[in-house]
Amino acid sequence: MDFNDTKEEAEFRAEARAFLDKHLEPKTGARPRPGSGKDALQRAKDWQKIKAENKFAQITWPEEWGGRGGTSMQSVIWGQEESKYDAPTGPFAIGLGMCVPTVIAFGSDAHKKRYVEKALKGEEIWCQLFSEPSAGSDVAGLKTKAVKDGDEWVINGQKVWTSGAHYSDFGIVLVRTNPKVPKHKGLTMFIVNMKQKGVEVRPIHQASGGREFNEVYFTDVRIPDSDRLGEVGAGWKVALVTLMNERLAVGGSPGPDWGEIMEYAKSSGTITDQAFREKLADWYVAAQGYKLTKFRTMTALSRGQTPGPENSIGKIITANHLQDICNSAIEMQDHYGIINDAETMPGDAIFQQSFMWAPGLRIAGGTDEILKNIIAERVLGLPQDVRVDKDLPFDEMKAG
C-alpha cells in the first residue's frame, strides 16, 4: 500500500485545491446533507456548470463528452479535495454517478449526444427508478410492467424511495417486460422523461423534516422503443452496472465522526466517563480501518487496477458507525437530546439531524444484508445463499 501521491497526482491535487479555493469556501465542520430548496438547487446547477467549463465535472470521462480524459486516481483526488469545501453536489450525484454512465455504456450514439453534455453541465438532472414497495431489497422482484404497443412501450406501476425525482428531468427505469421467465431474465431498462404525461411524483415527508425522496407512479406512460437501454429482457445486466456504480458512490457517510463527538464530550464533561472512552476508542479504530481500506482502493486505482466487490464493506461500516455515534451523542444530552433545533443544540443539531437519516444509509445502495452476502460470496468465497426462486417463472412466484 502506497500512502503518497505520485508526482503527477500531487500536481493534480494542487491544481484542484487552487481551483476550489478560488470558487468555494472551506467547510467549517461536519454538516448534514444540504436541502433541495430552490436556492440550493440553483446553486448546485451553477457550481456544476463552473466545474464542467473547467473540466472538473467528470474527471474520467472522455474529452469528447466534456470530461477531462483523466485517470480514476485523479477522480478520487478530486472527490477528496471537493469534500473539504462547501460544494453543493447533491442533485447531480445520482445522475452523473449512476444514471448517465449507464446511458453511456448501453445507449446509442444519439442518446449520448442528446443527454451526456447537458447532464454534465447541470442543465438536466437524472434520477434512478429501481426500488418498489413490494420488492424491498430484491430489485429483481419488481412488478412495474411495460407492454409493447407498436414502436412504443406502455408502462404502469409504482416506484418508491426515488431520490431527487421531484426535481429531475429524466430517469432510468427498470421494468418487467416478461413475467413468464425467472425474475432476473424478464427485465428491461428504459430512459424516461420525468415531466411527461402519466408520471406522478409524490414527495415523502421524512421524520427529519426533509423531502429528499419520493414515490413515483406510472399510469399508461408511453416510451418509444428507441429509448430502451440494452436488449429486451437484459435489463438485469444493465442494472448491475448501475448498482455497482451506486455501491461505490454511497460508500462513505457524511456527518459527524469520532472527532466531532469527542469534542462535544470534552465540552460536556463526558470525556471522563470510562464507558464512553471505550466506545470512542472503538469508533476511532473503525474509522482508521476504513481509511486504510480506502487507501487500498486508491492504491489499486493509482496502479491502473479495478477495485472489486470489497468496496461493499465501506457502506456497512460507515452507515452503522454514523448511527451509533449520533445515538450516543443524543443519549449524552439526556432529555435535551430530543430537541432538533440548529440554533439551540450543540453543533447546530448535527447529531439530531444526522440521526434521523442515518438508518436510511443502511438501506440505500444495498441493505446491510445484501452487502454482507456480496462480501461473503464474492470476497470470502463462501457458499451462495439459498435462493429457492432462482429458476421459477415470475408469474408463478407467491406474493409475500
Cα 221 to chain centroid, rounded: 26
* pLDDT attached to residue 171: 98
- CATH node for 250-379: 1.20.140.10
- Whether residue 232 contacts residue 181, with contact meaning beta carbons closer than 8 Å, is answered with no
Angle in degrees, 0-180, between the axes of helices 258-268 and 274-302, rounded to the nearest 10: 160
* pLDDT attached to residue 34: 46
How many residues are listed for the chain in this entry? 400
* pLDDT attached to residue 241: 85
- Whether residue 45 contacts residue 167, with contact meaning beta carbons closer than 8 Å, is answered with no
Q: To which H or E segment does residue 213 belong? A: strand 213-224
pLDDT band at 251 (very low <50, low <70, confident <90, very high): very low
Cα 22 to chain centroid, rounded: 28
Cα separation, 302 vs 104, whole angstroms: 24
* pLDDT attached to residue 249: 53
Percent of the chain with pLDDT over 90: 59
Q: Is the pLDDT of residue 205 over 80?
A: yes
Which CATH class name applies to 7-88?
mainly alpha
Residue 24 Cα distances to 18, 120, 123, angstroms: 10, 19, 20
Query: What's the mean pLDDT in 208-230?
Result: 93
Angle in degrees, 0-180, between the axes of helices 312-332 and 258-268, rounded to the nearest 10: 10
* pLDDT attached to residue 347: 79
Cα separation, 271 vs 266, whole angstroms: 5
Q: To the nearest whole number, what is the mean pLDDT of the chain?
A: 88
Q: Is the pLDDT of residue 253 over 70?
A: no
The answer to whether 7-88 and 250-379 have equal CATH topology is no
- Note the pLDDT tens digit of each residue in 333-356: 998 898 888 888 887 888 998 898
Q: Is the pLDDT of residue 325 over 70?
A: yes
DSSP assignment of 280-304 equals HHHHHHHHHHHHHHHHHHHHHHHTT
Q: Is the pLDDT of residue 99 over 90?
A: yes
Helices (H), the chain: 7-23, 38-53, 72-82, 90-94, 100-106, 109-120, 235-249, 258-268, 274-302, 312-332, 350-361, 368-374
**Of residues 391 and 115, which shows the higher confidence score?**
115
- CATH node for 126-246: 2.40.110.10
Q: What is the pTM of this model?
A: 0.86
- Note the pLDDT tens digit of each residue in 153-174: 999 999 999 999 999 999 999 9
- Whether residue 93 contacts residue 249, with contact meaning beta carbons closer than 8 Å, is answered with yes
* pLDDT attached to residue 13: 96
Of 31-40, 98-107, 189-198, 378-387, the one with minimum mean pLDDT is 31-40
- Whether residue 367 contacts residue 137, with contact meaning beta carbons closer than 8 Å, is answered with yes
* pLDDT attached to residue 24: 95
* pLDDT attached to residue 353: 86
- Whether residue 351 contacts residue 330, with contact meaning beta carbons closer than 8 Å, is answered with yes
Percent of the chain with pLDDT over 70: 90
- Note the pLDDT tens digit of each residue in 27-54: 875 554 444 456 889 999 999 999 999 9
Cα separation, 156 vs 207, whole angstroms: 29
* pLDDT attached to residue 248: 54
Q: Is the pLDDT of residue 178 over 60?
A: yes
Query: What's the mean pLDDT in 278-301?
Result: 85
Question: What is the residue extent of each domain of the chain?
Answer: 7-88, 126-246, 250-379
Report, as residue numbers or ranges, the catalytic residues.
Answer: 246
Query: What's the mean pLDDT in 273-292?
Result: 93
* pLDDT attached to residue 2: 59
Residue 256 Cα distances to 23, 174, 240, 267, angstroms: 25, 35, 31, 16
Show Cβ contacts of residue 208 under 8 Å, excluding neighbours closer than 6 positions.
340, 353, 356, 357
Cα separation, 333 vs 315, whole angstroms: 27
Query: What's the mean pLDDT in 42-70?
Result: 93
Residue 99 Cα distances to 40, 216, 225, 360, angstroms: 22, 17, 18, 21
Q: CA-based angle 359:365:367, to the nearest 5?
A: 55
* pLDDT attached to residue 36: 47
What DSSP character marks residue 338?
Answer: G
Query: What's the mean pLDDT in 300-326?
Result: 78
* pLDDT attached to residue 399: 67
